Each structure stands twice: as structure tokens, then as C-alpha cells.
Amino acid sequence: MAYTLIKTEHSARRGEFATPHGTVQTPAFMNVATAAAIKGGLSAFDLKEIGCQVMLCNTYHLHLRPGDKLVAELGGLHKFTRWDGPILTDSGGFQVFSLAELRKITEEGVTFRSHLDGHKIFMGPEESMQIQANLGSTIAMAFDECIKNPAEHEYAKDSCARTVRWLKRCKTELDRLKNEGKAVNPQQMLFGINQGCCYDDLRTEHMKQIAELDLDGYALGGLAVGEPTEEMYRVISVVEPHMPKDKIRYLMGVGTPGNIIEAVSRGVDLFDCVMPSRNARHGHLNTWSGIINIKNLKYEKDETPIDPQCDCPVCRNFTRAYIRHLFKADEMLGMRLAVMHNLYFYNHLMQRIRDELDAGTFQAFHDRYVTLLDSRI
């Protein structure tokens, strides 16, 4: 069994997830390295320094550039990036539906045009699995349709049914690739994705169907795509009782520190989001007192670290005044240090959540920080 539930506090779960590339302590945050690199100039060595447990790479981007076949030829993503811990690859679905110029959806899959050069590409469940098998990630995500939210109930219902059929094809194809020695990682794991917009009946029915397939983990997809935050929390709580207790649960694309704390309290184990690195590149930095904008004039002569409570390599060595100067002077070091701090903050927020769960004090931690960490100061 890959996932071990160690302890619960109400719906919140403290666990461990064993993978072929090491054990992940959960709840955990996956650090997003879209094109096999963290935007902001962080390498695999830096990820070790900032407490990253899982790196996430994007199938669509790597398929276009440098090409998954090239990555396979070079030994897969682990050898290519020198990150030896777990790597999760998304299915490409989200980018196909959000970035690519498109798009024709049939039962077979999706035909679309590359957002880079416009060339025509076809991707279905089999193609997504072939690409992810070439990338050699630890965990492959199932290929699903990301429909707009809100969507008509009837369209969402048909899409859910297709997503189940596509998921079965993903499983069959990944098993075939592994059995025939065509997967760079012969122990590659597969997660299924729950869909159904904000319709409770579709969400629960879909979850029950995909739970039967006995996959390595289950994700909640199609959330944090513009619906009110309260709606997202509600959907998590509606689906959660139908998610297998002995499998890891992943909320895709979420979120702020407050979102993560709230979702953990509703039974989620795994997260990913571009927010900490993207915000950092704009000078918005997370602290245990809220979010600061390092470009503000008030930090011009501030000789304290970004966050006096933070023990990251940046806060141990540099001042707010220096980092503000780097941003103002457009020095790329400013971005790099900012991204390093924010990702450290997220990874250590998860460490703190795990410690609080271990101590049985998570609820009090939730109440103290759920709003505070998202406030701007």
C-alpha cells in the first residue's frame, strides 16, 4: 500500500506516501517546475535546500519542448534535471484546454494547435500516457477533459462519463507500456482525477466510479478555476466521504496558504500551485504575519530579513533593503531569492501543518492562521 494514514484530527490527515523515488510526508506541497525548471532560476540542488519533497512538471510543455522522446533518450526527467525525489507529471489536459489553440474533442481525444508554433497535435489518453512514460515521472496523471466552469449540467455529465472511459484507457495503456518495457520508470504510478464542476450529484457519482479502478491516488480537478472559494471548499467536503481512505488525495492547482490550511482540514493530502513562485517574481512575499510587497518604499532601509520567523537561506543571509534594491534594479538575483523564500515558506508551512497534526493541535493552528497568512500587510 503506497499511502499510510498515520493520524487524523477531525477530517485532516497526517500520512506517508511511499513512491519508487522516496517517501513523501503528507500533507505536502509539490513545487511546480513547468518546463523541468522552477521559474525564477532554481535548480534541483536548490529544491533540496528549501525542503521540497515533490517536483511537478508539465507534460504539454515538455512534449512541445524539448520533446518527450528526447527526454527519454537522455534517461528521463530524473536524470535530465538531477532531481532524485518524486516527480509528478500532469496529463497535459489542463494546458491543452487552457493554452492551446483549439480544439476538436472526440471520443478518441483532442486535436489542437501548439501555442508555440501552431502545428497540429493530437492527444488522447494513450498519447498522454506515452508521453508521461517517456518523461519517466514517479506519478502520471490521467488525461481528462477540463471543461469550463460553470458548465451546463448535461454537458458536465457527458464529460464525466467520457473522463471515466478515458481513465480506463489511461490505465490499460500505462500497464501495457510498463509490461512491454516502454516506460522509463517501470514502477510509474497513476492518479485518477475527479471532475463534475460544482454539481454534487456528478462529483459524487464520478468519484464512486473512479474509486473502483484501484489507482495509486485520486485528485480533485476542475476546482480553483474561478468559482468562489467557499464553493470549492463545499465541493471538497461533498466528495471527500467518497474518496478511498487508504489512497492519497490531491487538490490540483491550489492555492494560497489559507486555501491549503482549509483544504487540509477537509481531508486533502497533496497540493500544487504556481502562486508562490509567480507571486515571488512580482515581489509579493509570504510571511508568518501575512503577505508583503518587497518593492514598497518602506523597505528601502529595512535591514531585517523578509520574515524574521523564516529560517530559509535567503532570510538567514539577506535584508529586505537588499532584495528590494535587486527588484528595483531588475537584477535577476532578486527574483531568484524571492522564489526561494516563497517556496521554502510553502514547504515549511506543510511541515508545520504536519507537526501540528502530530501534536493534535491542528485545529488551533487552523483558526490562528487560515485568514492571517493570506492578508496583505
Q: Would you name the residues annotated as active-site residues?
A: 90, 272
Q: Does position 312 bind Zn ion by CB under 5 A?
A: yes
Residue from 177, 251, 310, 343 in contact with Zn ion (CB under 5 A): 310
- Return the range that interacts with Zn ion (CB under 5 A); candidates 150-158, 211-219, 303-311, 321-329: 303-311
Say how far apart CA 114 and CA 150 lie, in whole Å: 26
How many residues sit close enough to Zn ion to count as binding (CB under 5 A)?
5
State the DSSP code for 324.
Answer: H
Quote the strand ranges of the chain, DSSP E. Answer: 3-9, 12-19, 22-26, 28-32, 54-57, 87-89, 101-105, 110-113, 120-123, 139-141, 189-194, 217-220, 248-251, 270-272, 284-287, 290-293
Q: Does position 350 bind Zn ion by CB under 5 A?
A: no
Q: Whose Cβ is closer to Zn ion: residue 137's or residue 342's? A: 342
Q: Does position 285 bind Zn ion by CB under 5 A?
A: no
Say how far apart CA 105 and CA 149 lie, in whole Å: 17
Q: Does position 13 bind Zn ion by CB under 5 A?
A: no
Alpha carbon distances (Å) from 18 to 3, 136, 142, 214, 329 = 6, 17, 20, 16, 44
- Return the range that interacts with Zn ion (CB under 5 A); candidates 1-9, 285-293, 305-313, 361-369: 305-313
Nearest residue to 106 (alpha-carbon basis) of 122, 126, 121, 127: 122
Which residues, at least 6 apart from 363, have a Cβ–Cβ distance to it below 8 Å?
Answer: 9, 10, 265
The CB-of-304 to Zn ion minimum distance in angstroms stands at 11
Q: Whose Cβ is closer to Zn ion: residue 324's or residue 341's? A: 341
The CB-of-311 to Zn ion minimum distance in angstroms stands at 7
Residues 55-74 touching Zn ion, rule: CB under 5 A, are none
> Three-state DSSP class for 166?
helix
Q: Distance from CA of residue 216 to its chain's centroid?
A: 16
- Return the range that interacts with Zn ion (CB under 5 A); candidates 75-83, 185-193, 278-286, 309-317: 309-317
Q: Whose Cβ is closer to Zn ion: residue 129's or residue 315's? A: 315
The CB-of-342 to Zn ion minimum distance in angstroms stands at 8
The CB-of-277 to Zn ion minimum distance in angstroms stands at 14
Q: Does position 315 bind Zn ion by CB under 5 A?
A: yes
Applying CB under 5 A, the residues found at the interface with Zn ion are: 310, 312, 314-315, 341
